[in-house]
Amino acid sequence: MREAEAQADRLSGHASRLCAERRLAAARPEPAAVLRRLSQRFGEVPADIGYPKLRDPMLDDKLMPYVRGLPYTSASSGGLVLISLA
């Protein structure tokens, strides 16, 4: 009987931990949503600081900035500074 009660206590504790983990996971935003918002904000900043000929600003899934369809490493030295600031 004691063994069954101990097992029930262990399982109850385990179930409580799993429920708490599930609540925490549900409260976190989806990684794709975070990436979309970061990419959107990245696009707003160069526009705000007057990046010349701004087109297609975005962050890829590794958070590499792109402008005009090219990675920031392809930008001019002035462009690199502006992209880095963004």
Instruction: Tell me the per-residue pLDDT of 27-44, one tens digit each, with 9 for 90 and over.
Output: 788 889 999 999 999 899
Q: How large is the average pLDDT for residues 71-83?
A: 84
pLDDT at 40: 93
CB contact at 8 A, 36 and 57: no
**% pLDDT > 90, the chain:** 22
CA–CA dist 63, 37 (Å, integer): 12
